[in-house]
Structure 1
Amino acid sequence: MRRRRGSGAPSSSPAEADLAAAEAILGHAFNDRALLAQALSHSGLSQGRDQGLASNERLEFVGDRVLGLVVAEWLIERFPAEREGALGRRLAHLVAEPSLASVAGRLGLGALLAVAPGDDRAGVRDRPAVLADAVEAMIGALYLDAGLEAARGFIRRALAPEMVVDAPRDPKSALQEWTLGRGLGLPEYRVVATSGPSHAPTFRVRASCRDTWAEAEAGVKQAAEKAAAASLLALLEKGDG
């Protein structure tokens, strides 16, 4: 992964080159570049100084709402014959941490983030939760600087590879249907480990059914549960084949 400064020491704000790179990714030259700089500032930079007001958390709050609206609008347009349940599964898939982290990975967003030195050494740039939050923050900044049309254009471009033909199923629901259908009872979920700083923890969750189990990690416990459920279902289906 590219490092922005020859010294290897992250700054308290994004570099000019990183702001320019982010503008190219978004397809917009910002009128208020402070918004973009804030979107690229990880929350660890401002811990204990301003209660996180200078980090990207507030923009993430805005971007999450804009993302949900634009994706819902897009799905209604793209799948006019689908019922609410299928549309809801599609929306959940598109706005979930794995999809947004995948977007960030394709765009090289992790390398543009301004992070605290300790977080940088801990590999925070590669954490799916951090990357997903950064995508939402950039959407929030784009919306506030250029409006809904600009945000809509970026969201559709960025998420196009994640748009699938078949409505995705929630992994936990699919696993539950499989186990109950075979008289195995409900699967169980347990957090077996937590790592990372308190403001950006990583959860390792174990999903189990009888004597079979699988584990997965994510920055949000629910995302870790879903990933573990998907892995466990794959194991059970393989053993049942």
Structure 2
Amino acid sequence: MAVRLALEPDGRGLLTTDLKAWVAATFGREPHDLAAFSRALTHGSQAADNYERLEFLGDRVLGLVMAEWLWDLFPDEPEGQLSKRLNALVTGHVCAEVARSLGVRPHLRLGKQARDDGASDSDNILGDVMEALIGAHYREAGLESARAFIRRAWADRVHRTDKAPQHPKSALQEWAAANNRKPPEYAILERSGPHHAPRFTVQVKVGRQLEATAIGASKQDAETAAARAMLEKVRR
């Protein structure tokens, strides 16, 4: 009987056999180059040989596969609607959701400070790692296998709604215009944390009376979260 050991989020004591089994179960085939998948799970706080280059590649593969998939699924939609769907499905937040659902967190390799700062649950880092894993799988197994994996991993999300999802900042902008309000204004209230795991606190205001605040691992993530929080307020 195989026994899976519990692992620290930074990957200390990471067993090669454990990682190999997880990759095989996740991607549907045993990896030939396990080092590439290990690199895809490695944050810059842990080693110089980290996920960044694989993330660059995986981001492009994900975008291509998703665009092709949406083209097939929604043949009557114009470019603008398809773009909304694409942008909503490849955001760091959604990639992080997929990463969590696949059990990525226990395999992350993080430096001690990044781990202590909560980087193992950062949408920014998990999203980047998810793209890096796609890049590693694409290099090893090719586009067809990468396409099959992405369609499995995103299956419940791409069909989540018949209407093209709208980015929270765009939705808030439209709400303000429709209700004769001033355009939303965003301001960074605080930037904290180390360079490799920053935390941004952003406030959004619509006029003088409406405001909402949120925290994110990047300025963009924090602004998106603030816009989402504001929408929840005004739609109650």
**TM-score, L = length of structure 2:** 0.90
Task: Say which SS state the counterpart of residue 235 (structure 2) adopts.
Answer: helix
1:80 Cα deviation from its structure 2 partner? 0.6
SS in 1 for 2:45: helix
Structure 2 residue aligned with 1:49: none
Aligned to 2:211: 213
Whole-Å Cα distance in 2 between the matches of residues 155 and 189 of structure 1? 34
Matched with 2:193 is: 196
Give the secondary-structure state (helix, strand or coil) at the position aligned to 1:206. Answer: strand
> Percentage identity across aligned positions?
42
Q: Distance in 2 between the 1:211 and 1:228 partners?
A: 15
Matching residue of 2:225: 227
In structure 2, the residue corresponding to 1:167 is in which secondary structure?
A: coil
> Who is 2:180 aligned against?
183
**1:237 CA displacement:** 2.5
Q: Deviations over 1:125-175 (max 9, x none)?
A: 111111101100000000001100111111111111221321001211211
3-state secondary structure, aligned to 1:141: helix
Cα separation, 2, equivalents of 1:160 and 1:215: 32
Tell me the equivalent position of 2:235.
Answer: 237
How many residues align? The count is: 228
State the match for 1:157 in structure 2: 152
Q: Is the 8 A contact 2:10 2:108 kept in 1?
A: no
Which residue of 1 is the match for residue 111 of structure 2?
116
CA drift of 1:14 comes to 4.6
Q: Which runs of 5+ in 2 are unaligned?
A: none
Measure, in 2, the Cα distance between the counterparts of 1:83 and 1:138.
31
* TM value normalised by structure 1: 0.88
Deviations 1:169-224 (A, max 9, x none): 12112111211222221111011122222023122211111211112222222122
Q: Secondary structure at the residue paired with 1:189?
A: strand
Aligned partner of 1:107 among 98, 102, 107: 102
Counterpart amino acid of 2:105? G
Cα distance per residue 1:46-68 (max 9 Å; x no partner): 2xxxxx3x101110000000000
1:3 offset after TM fit, Å?
4.4
* SS at structure 1 position matched to 2:204: strand
Partner of 2:15: 15
Taking the aligned partners of 1:27 and 1:204, their CA distance within structure 2 comes to 40
CA-to-aligned-CA distance 1:106-137 (integer Å, 9 cap, x gap): 11111111111222222211111111011000
Kindly indicate whether the alpha-carbon contact (under 8 Å) linking 1:202 and 1:217 is maintained by their aligned counterparts in 2. Answer: yes
CA contact (8 A) 2:11 2:108 kept: no
Gaps spanning 5+ residues in structure 1: where? 47-51
Q: 1:58 aligns with which of 53, 69, 81?
A: 53
Aligned counterpart, 1:4? 7
SS of corresponding position for 1:43: coil
1: distance between equivalents of 2:10 and 2:121?
17
- Cα RMSD of the aligned pairs, angstroms, is 1.8
